[in-house]
């Protein structure tokens, strides 16, 4: 007789007392595939050149009601507001991201996605803002053709997601994302999961995290497939390194202060 796994009861002392199945339930309800009719999405062999020269007007606004969850045409029109002034190729990329977030993604959509990034990665990297670059990485993480593509997408999603969570939580301290904490008010002791706190002055956890991303980008760049994703990853690493508002930059500033004090 087949055993049936029983879902554990909610636990009141947990961050997510409903359990992981309960946590996933509202997300899964939003994953129903879009209703896509013929002509809604360009074919996989479409010419990209016209999409690169046509731009979405800056004054274009969305005046309709929120589209139904599975209404692709309505959601594609709604999405245009986020690409004002951008080439239509960026909007096409956003539409493909939107479709690949759902279940039962048609193979023709994935064919178009990979052809788009194989042929137009440089153009997309130049014109997309960071929000859509991160979204593109999520699609590679979910649907990459190789393990390296999927690994790259998932690693970037986890790192940038944790950066966003950390930056948002610290904003309640009254400090901006480019303002490191003062040295004299630190609370000592174990941190999450009972781990020892990170040794800011001499630690290298931040370097290991960034270098893992770099190594995956480099490995993917050396393959026959995935150069578009590697180019996207390389661009995002440069942006992380250059941004003055990341946890990595704040830790570096704290490290310099600690080392100066010790000197």
Every domain of the chain and the residues it spans: 29-128, 130-178+199-263
In contact, 84 and 58? CB cutoff 8 Å: yes
> Which of the pair, 62 or 253, is modelled with greater confidence?
253
Average pLDDT of the residues of the chain: 93
Instruction: Name residues whose C-beta falls within 8 Å of residue 226's C-beta, 6 or more positions apart in sequence.
Output: 144, 145, 146, 148, 149, 152, 220
In contact, 251 and 258? CB cutoff 8 Å: no
pLDDT digits (tens, 9 = 90+) for 137-184: 999 999 999 999 999 999 999 999 999 999 999 999 999 999 999 988
User: What is the mean predicted confidence (pLDDT) over 190-218?
Assistant: 96
Q: Which residues pair with 87 in a beta bridge?
A: 55
What one-character DSSP code corresponds to residue 201? Answer: T
Residue from 209, 215, 210, 188 nearest 199 by CA: 188
User: What is the mean predicted confidence (pLDDT) over 23-30?
Assistant: 90
User: What is the mean predicted confidence (pLDDT) over 217-238?
Assistant: 96
d(C-alpha 237, C-alpha 249), whole Å: 13
User: What is the mean predicted confidence (pLDDT) over 119-134?
Assistant: 98
Look at residue 185 in the predicted model and tell me its pLDDT. Answer: 82
d(C-alpha 200, C-alpha 262), whole Å: 13
Q: Is the pLDDT of residue 29 over 60?
A: yes
Largest CA distance in the chain: 70
Name the residue with tokens 């939003």: 30
- Least confident range from 92-101, 168-177, 180-189: namely 180-189
pLDDT bin (cut points 50, 70, 90) of residue 202 is very high
pLDDT bin (cut points 50, 70, 90) of residue 71 is very high
In contact, 111 and 81? CB cutoff 8 Å: no
Name the residue with tokens 């393990």: 147
Q: Is the pLDDT of residue 3 over 80?
A: no
Mutual angle of helices 107-127 and 227-242, in 10-degree steps = 40
Structure tokens at 152: 């790259």
User: What is the mean predicted confidence (pLDDT) over 75-87?
Assistant: 96
Look at residue 62 in the predicted model and tell me its pLDDT. Answer: 81
Q: Is the pLDDT of residue 63 over 90?
A: no
pLDDT digits (tens, 9 = 90+) for 4-24: 555 556 566 889 988 899 999
Q: Is the pLDDT of residue 53 over 80?
A: yes
User: What is the mean predicted confidence (pLDDT) over 188-212?
Assistant: 95
Q: Is the pLDDT of residue 225 over 60?
A: yes
Instruction: Name residues whose C-beta falls within 8 Å of residue 61's C-beta, 6 or more positions apart in sequence.
Output: 81
Question: Does the CA dihedral 210-212-214-220 come out positive or negative?
Answer: negative
Structure tokens at 159: 């790192």
Name the residue with tokens 């309505």: 74
pTM (predicted TM-score): 0.92
In contact, 141 and 236? CB cutoff 8 Å: no
Name the residue with tokens 């879009």: 34
């Amino acid at each position: 007789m087949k055993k049936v796994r029983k879902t554990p009861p909610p636990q009141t002392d947990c961050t997510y007392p409903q359990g992981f199945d309960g946590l996933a339930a509202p997300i899964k309800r939003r994953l129903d595939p879009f209703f896509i009719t013929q002509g809604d999405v360009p074919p996989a062999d479409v010419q990209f050149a016209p999409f690169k020269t046509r731009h979405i007007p800056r004054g274009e606004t969305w005046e309709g009601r929120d589209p139904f969850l599975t209404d692709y045409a309505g959601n594609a029109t709604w999405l245009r507001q986020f690409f004002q002034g951008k080439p239509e190729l960026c909007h096409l990329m956003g539409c493909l991201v939107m479709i690949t977030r759902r279940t039962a993604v048609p193979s023709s959509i994935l064919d178009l996605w990979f052809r788009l990034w194989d042929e137009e990665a440089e153009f997309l990297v130049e014109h997309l803002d960071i929000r859509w670059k991160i979204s593109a990485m999520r699609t590679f993480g979910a649907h990459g053709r190789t393990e390296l593509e999927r690994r790259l997408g998932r690693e970037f999603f986890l790192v940038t997601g944790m950066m966003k969570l950390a930056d948002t939580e610290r904003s309640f301290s009254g400090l901006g994302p480019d303002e490191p904490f003062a040295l004299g008010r630190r609370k000592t002791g174990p941190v999450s999961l009972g781990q020892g706190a990170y040794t800011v002055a001499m630690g290298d956890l931040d370097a290991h995290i960034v270098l893992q991303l770099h190594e995956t980008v480099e490995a993917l760049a050396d393959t026959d497939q995935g150069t578009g994703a590697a180019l996207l990853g390389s661009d995002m690493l440069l942006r992380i390194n250059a941004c003055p508002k990341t946890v990595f930059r704040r830790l570096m500033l704290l490290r310099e202060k600690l080392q100066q004090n010790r000197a």
